[in-house]
Structure 1
């Protein structure tokens, strides 16, 4: 590309927001919520806080629950993914019980709410809302975390259509994912935004995550095998963390662009989108 062609391309890129205001608003919203930073933060909180919580809960859960949890992780990463280490971690009952105990479960649960807090801050930035006080939202962090764990546990039976077949699993996964992210936004925003304006973000995040999960089955097993062969455990961890960042970027994009959709064109009239931010609480 010569200098003249590059200059023409640059001018076109600069004029894009003016020619297509909605695209400009979408790009501006992604920039304002620090798209990559928000995605990396959500992934880090999931990896450092929530995954240990799942391991601790599996140690105290009945055998059937541990099997469902391991199957759900395998369903997310792909049936052929090398998840033997994860299976062993979920099955390490005696050692984990001795190390944590009942108090340890409570501490792990409180620590895992860091993911809830990060999601709440993301939703508030997307909608331009002031941060709500912890006194009003702390219980919502715990409720969301319990709901998210329940959603993880049903992934394996859900993706297999509860025994009816994969085709039914795909059909059920879409509305389930949309409902999860619809409820997530409403809960963590403290009901400051009504249900209907949050629907576009729920649809984008839900459809995006179902698509991402199905694509993961195609590339994650090979990627994890390659990372494990080349770099050992470090490659395994790096591949898993990269997968989490990619998935979280889908969530951030869906919620951010959902807000732009709900406030653009005829959607404010159809959805009853508020024109001014609601007060905390």
Structure 2
């Protein structure tokens, strides 16, 4: 089995500790990244609907009870603005950069690259964090603008797939400081977008009813458990997509086998 293509991917995933890193991704995302995004969503000049709408959009929650469970998990946008100082905003941005550093380290390990020099790291992590925030913001706003009618829905799906692909293709190349050629990273970007689409479908059919039942049984803690499980899935797809793309590149490029 280990000599087969699937066996090599499995062995690489085991060596990379994909599940453990996905769990670390979820914890760090919720601790370091989500608070920053909560503030960004609260100051949204177009529609201060709050970060809960970002989660509802990402999980593809259509059930009103499941969506309401997520809304109850976060403070209102006005309350977030009233309680956020300049110092706390700076600290949130700093913690967000630590999340970017974790993703960068994961990509480097997947591609067996040494850590990049410190002077190349920090500014790239800051830029990646800013672009990620803009990407998520644009996705949520486009879903709000294109939510009615079949043509608008098709346009939203196409835009989500295209911009998702472009973001993850660029993100790998940028965080790896250009040490891998663009063609090598293309399969990973495709795999990541396909995986996220699959995770959205899984969330719709599995996480949505689980949110309702878990909230009824355990209250906000039950809601948080399901949302955190979804973040683990996101981490698994982000790292797993890049890992799979790494092997696709090796299979299709004889010189690097």
TM range (shorter): 0.7 to 0.9
Name the counterpart of 2:85: 101
| Deviating more after overlay: 98-107 vs 137-146 | 98-107
Name the counterpart of 2:131: 147
Report which of the two structures shows the higher radius of gyration computed on alpha carbons.
1
Equivalences for 1:221-236 in 2 at 5 Å?
A: 221-236=208-223
Aligned length: 251
> CA contact under 8 A between 1:177 and 1:210: conserved in structure 2?
no
For residue 72 of structure 1, the aligned residue among 54, 77, 95 is: 54
Q: Give ranges in structure 2 of 5+ residues lacking alignment.
A: none
Looking at structure 2, the residues matched to 82 and 160 of structure 1 have their Cα atoms a distance apart, in angstroms, of 15
> CA contact under 8 A between 1:76 and 1:155: conserved in structure 2?
no
Name the counterpart of 1:42: 25
TM-score normalised to the size of structure 2?
Answer: 0.88
Q: Give ranges in structure 1 of 5+ residues lacking alignment.
A: 1-15, 277-281
Kindly indicate whether residue 104 of structure 2 is the aligned counterpart of residue 117 of structure 1.
no
Looking at structure 2, the residues matched to 83 and 126 of structure 1 have their Cα atoms a distance apart, in angstroms, of 38
Looking at structure 2, the residues matched to 101 and 60 of structure 1 have their Cα atoms a distance apart, in angstroms, of 13
> CA contact under 8 A between 1:29 and 1:260: conserved in structure 2?
no
Listed one character per residue, the Cα deviations across residues 200-257 of structure 1 (whole Å, up to 9, x for unaligned) are 1111011111221233223322111111101111111111111111221122211111
Alignment RMSD, CA only? Answer: 2.4
Listed one character per residue, the Cα deviations across residues 84-132 of structure 1 (whole Å, up to 9, x for unaligned) are 6547835342x43453312211110110112211111111011100011
Looking at structure 1, the residues matched to 136 and 144 of structure 2 have their Cα atoms a distance apart, in angstroms, of 14
